[in-house]
């Protein structure tokens, strides 16, 4: 499916003809390949491996990471508006820090991303910004970069959180899941652990690593592996748990096997759309990754349909705890 922002940009192929473009966090649709097919030189920087992988699979050059490390000469940057304001600011800081002064910038976004309220702050930040086009509930804004000295570290925030008898000290970055706070579902899980979590442990969809941080402080498991596709979250996880193994991944195929525990608060959104696909794949594939007697511990919103697939994949499924919003499942 072609994203509405891509449809808007398709109206401007003539302006883009022959240019060297850098696309920042585009949706994983056919638009970047369409640009390439038109003879436009395209490079992509992405912070989400869920999108970076399918774009790479289309033969596109994709750099994945928390911060653009290898900027080549570009004639225009296309930036997709992120809903979280602080994340949007981080991306602008990154572009201003690593690309030459005066590089043309196009900012595109759907109405629900908050693009319309970006015009004024962008003018203030860069000295100029104007609306170029509006269609399909999307807006395209043009500006030019001004240099600014900035690093990823400027955006790190340090937090202290009390949970289930432990004080966690951790770092967060804009754009990550539950930036700067412990999610209520994750807290509920930590408050209702069914016993010591030890041995070979995988934290699936680890975010900045709060579940793992708790487990390390409480139980010191033999080996902790964190798997996460969001490069900003992974950058935090690496800081929060320097001794653990942190993997950029989108599925269990990226994780080690022979696990004693898989613990997860799995995602149920992909780019603002609700989706249980990742959680269902995790449930289906988990038994093959666990050693005999191994366990999958999940927390999820009560309304999410996980009980039946858990019962299909595992011989025993218990609801360890539930409240009006969340349920903790233990499958073995
Ligand atoms: C509900 S959050 C939980 C984060 C963290 N464990 C916590 O408790 O704060 C789900 C996490 O799954 C990540 N995620 C998204 N797609 C994924 C995928 N395909 N495989 C694994 N994790 C994914 C998200 O980026 C997010 O960090």
One domain, residues 62 and 123: yes
One domain, residues 316 and 200: yes
One domain, residues 303 and 287: yes
Dig out the tokens for 331 from the structure. 């499958």
Measured in Å, residue 204 CA sits from the centre of ligand 1 at: 7
Measured in Å, residue 207 CA sits from the centre of ligand 1 at: 5
Residue nearest to atom 11 of ligand 1 (CA): 205
One domain, residues 61 and 143: yes
pLDDT at 268: 87
Measured in Å, residue 208 CA sits from the centre of ligand 1 at: 9
Task: State which of 25, 202, 205 you would mutate to test the pocket of ligand 1, scoring each by most atoms of that ligand within 8 A of its C-beta.
Answer: 205
pLDDT at 56: 98
**Max Cα distance, the chain (Å):** 63
Instruction: Write the pLDDT tens digit of every residue in 45-97.
Output: 999 999 999 999 999 999 999 999 877 889 999 999 999 999 999 999 999 99
One domain, residues 29 and 120: yes
One domain, residues 235 and 321: yes
Q: Which of 127, 152, 177 corresponds to the end of one domain?
A: 152
What residue ranges line ligand 1, CB within 6 angstroms?
A: 50, 177-178, 183, 186, 204-207, 210-211, 227-230, 233, 250-251, 265, 267, 278
- How many residues in the chain? 332
Task: State which of 25, 177, 286 you would mutate to test the pocket of ligand 1, scoring each by most atoms of that ligand within 8 A of its C-beta.
Answer: 177
Residue nearest to atom 13 of ligand 1 (CA): 205
Task: State which of 161, 189, 207, 240 you would mutate to test the pocket of ligand 1, scoring each by most atoms of that ligand within 8 A of its C-beta.
Answer: 207
Residue nearest to atom 27 of ligand 1 (CA): 207
Best CA proximity match to 264, nearest among 280, 248, 244: 280
Residue nearest to atom 14 of ligand 1 (CA): 205
pLDDT at 1: 80
CATH number at residue 298: 3.40.50.150
Instruction: Write the pLDDT tens digit of every residue in 260-283.
Output: 999 999 998 765 566 899 999 999
One domain, residues 173 and 69: no
One domain, residues 186 and 42: no
Instruction: Write the pLDDT tens digit of every residue in 190-240.
Output: 999 999 999 999 999 999 999 999 999 999 999 999 999 999 999 999 999
One domain, residues 197 and 133: no
* β pairing state of 76-80 and 200-204: unpaired
The tally of domains found in the chain comes to 2
| CB neighbourhood size of 153 (10 A) | 11
Q: What is the span of the domain harbouring residue 280?
A: 156-331
One domain, residues 183 and 114: no
pLDDT at 275: 81
Residue 158 has pLDDT above 80, yes or no: yes
Q: Distance between CA atoms of 15 and 85, rounded to whole angstroms? A: 29
Q: Which of 100, 134, 152 corresponds to the end of one domain?
A: 152
One domain, residues 168 and 303: yes
One domain, residues 186 and 217: yes
Looking at residue 251, the DSSP 8-state letter turns out to be S
Q: Which of 112, 129, 152 corresponds to the end of one domain?
A: 152
């Amino acid at each position: 499916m072609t994203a509405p922002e891509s449809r808007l940009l398709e109206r401007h192929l003539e302006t883009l003809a022959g240019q060297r473009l850098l696309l920042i966090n585009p949706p994983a649709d056919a638009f970047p390949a369409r640009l390439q097919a038109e003879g436009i030189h395209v490079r992509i920087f992405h912070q989400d491996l869920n999108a970076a992988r399918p774009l790479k699979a289309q033969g596109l050059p994709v750099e994945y990471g928390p911060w653009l490390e290898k900027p080549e000469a570009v004639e225009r940057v296309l930036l997709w508006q992120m809903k979280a304001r602080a994340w949007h600011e981080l991306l602008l800081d990154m572009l201003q820090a690593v690309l030459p002064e005066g590089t043309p910038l196009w900012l595109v976004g759907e109405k629900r991303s908050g693009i319309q309220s970006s015009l004024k702050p962008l003018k203030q930040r860069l000295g100029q910004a104007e609306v170029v086009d509006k269609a399909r509930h999307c807006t395209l804004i043009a500006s030019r970069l001004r240099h600014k000295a900035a690093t990823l570290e400027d955006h790190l925030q340090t937090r202290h959180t009390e949970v289930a008898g432990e004080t966690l000290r951790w770092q967060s970055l804009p754009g990550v899941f539950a930036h700067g706070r412990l999610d209520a579902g994750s807290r509920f899980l930590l408050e209702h652990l069914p016993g010591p979590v030890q041995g070979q442990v995988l934290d699936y969809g680890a975010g900045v690593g709060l579940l793992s941080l708790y487990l390390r402080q409480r139980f010191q498991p033999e080996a902790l592996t964190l798997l996460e596709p969001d490069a900003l979250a992974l950058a935090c996880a690496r800081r929060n748990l320097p001794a653990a193994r942190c993997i950029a991944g989108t599925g269990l195929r990226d994780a080690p096997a022979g696990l004693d525990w898989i613990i997860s608060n799995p995602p149920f959104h992909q780019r603002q759309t609700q989706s249980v696909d990742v959680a269902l794949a995790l449930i289906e594939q988990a038994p093959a990754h666990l050693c005999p007697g191994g366990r999958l511990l999940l927390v999820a919103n009560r309304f999410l349909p996980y009980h039946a697939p858990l019962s299909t994949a595992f011989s025993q499924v218990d609801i360890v705890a539930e409240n009006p919003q969340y349920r903790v499942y233990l499958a073995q």
